[in-house]
Amino acid sequence: MKRQRLHLKAPDNWINDPNGFIYYKGYYHLFYQYFPYELRWGTMHWGHAVSRDLVTWEHRGVALYPSTHEDRNGCFSGSAIEEDGKLYLVYTGVRYEVVNPEDPHTCLDEQFESAQLMITSEDGFHFDNEEGKTVIIPPLTDKKIGDRTHTRDPKIWKGKDRWYLILGSTMEEKYGEVLFYQSEDLHTWTYVNKAWKGPDYGWMWECPDFFETEGGGVLMVSPMGLLKNGEKEKNQSVCFPVEFTESTCQMEIPDQYQFTDYGMDLYAPQTTRDSEGRRVMEGWIRMPKPAEEGWIGMFCLPRIVERKGNHIYFRIHPNVRAAYSKEITDISCASEDGYMAVFELEDGETADIGGFLIKRKGNRIQTDRTAVYPSFEGAHLLSETPELTDGCRIEVLADKNLIEVYINDGEYVISNAVYGTGDFIKVNIEKTVHLYTLKEHGERTRGEE
């Protein structure tokens, strides 16, 4: 089985959203939307990868594939929970009403129907695709609740005394919404309530996630058609600090949101609890073309999500930080999984990471990937954070096809897919840049000598 470190990438062909992310029986399981036949989106399967530590990953092949009437054209996104030692996966099954005559992997004019399904596993590795699937929420029939076609991506969690499920939907394709369901036994689900913000917040909300943190509740959604700036990726992941009342499933969502990542490549993130109970997130990094080795789609590094006041932080996971513990003096000494560069930027200064530019302008960080990204109509090349509040400490995690820029320990993050970066870093001559790479197995590092 293929092993990868840090950034999990498509084993081959195409991947998109992370699914069913969970720490279960000593393994992190990360499933993902997978089209195993070509370098493009098509009939969705769930690919499967596992890790002991969120650093080293092993691809385990296909876990779910279309096999029933309801999911015959795709196993769309969903989530996982553990109960009584069993792993439960819930996901959206898609059935095309009219298949595209030119391509059996897509449908014609959005003519499809969506149901929510469940499948369980005793060990997290074996799934009975033939006999083990049940429909827990059939396609919606009440238009006042949500859409029969565009209702998907169930995220499930355990509340104080029952189970909850949040679903993404649309009100007549005018604005996105989330639907809340409750269950006492995981099998019978009752619709309770919904929440939305209106037409300025995208026409459909995909991949919702809700969780409580020490600092309060957080809602993450991926609204479609949010941006109207002429760029290709109009769908973007956003997060809100929210208040949620379990008994009524009422959610207060403020007007103001943050982008989950200011690089505008990250989409459809999903969170779970790590082995220490921290809230950890994975997200899909969209790529405009395949990597050199012939695969397309990858995930960001696992990030700890914290809320303080109304701000949501995305911090480097401690296991990742610990993995980058071998100090090096030159990036030519970095392992093939990349390196971490740590430095501060003053106003007006620029760091050049192999052609990827990071610049401080006032109290904002701007990036420019023009030199290391294909140029096409609507390409997003320049990114910018909002005003920083707490200095300007930069941690760059650079891999062959992905550069992640963490600012002030996750106050904001800019992650960008890149192609063909050079093996150099240029910051002001007198600047101190600390460089780290991955510890190889058995190697001793800083502090251990």
Return residues touching ligand FRU (CB under 6 A): 16-17, 33, 44, 76-77, 92, 152-153, 206-207, 267-268
Q: How far is the CB of 209 from ligand FRU (least distance, A)?
A: 12
**CB of 77: closest distance to ligand FRU in angstroms?**
3
3-state secondary structure 394-412: EEEEECCCEEEEEECCCCE
- Name the minimum Å distance from CB 81 to ligand FRU: 18
CB 174 to ligand FRU: min, Å: 18
- Residue 31 or 324: the one with the smaller Cβ distance to ligand FRU is 31
CB of 72 to ligand FRU, least distance (A): 15
What length does the chain have?
449
**12 vs 62: CA distance, rounded Å:** 12
**CA nearest 163: which of 180, 183, 189, 190?**
183
Token output for 177: 């919404």
Q: Which is nearer to ligand FRU, 227 or 328 (CB)?
A: 227
By C-beta, is 16 or 170 nearer to ligand FRU?
A: 16
Considering beta carbons, is residue 34 or 211 the nearer one to ligand FRU? 34
Q: With respect to ligand FRU, which residue has the nearer C-beta, 153 or 209? A: 153
Whether the Cβ atoms of residue 223 and residue 246 lie closer than 8 Å to each other: no
Cα separation, 331 vs 392, in Å, equals 22
User: What are the backbone angles phi and psi of residue 199, rounded to the nearest 5°?
Assistant: -65, -20
Residue 245: CB partners within 8 Å, gap ≥ 6?
Answer: 251
Q: Give the number of other Cβ atoms within 10 Å of residue 436's Cβ.
A: 21
Please, are residues 211 and 157 in contact by the beta-carbon 8 Å criterion?
A: yes
Nearer to ligand FRU, 16 or 385 (CB): 16
Is residue 45 within 8 A of residue 75, CB to CB? The reply is yes
* Smallest gap from residue 2 Cβ to ligand FRU (A): 22
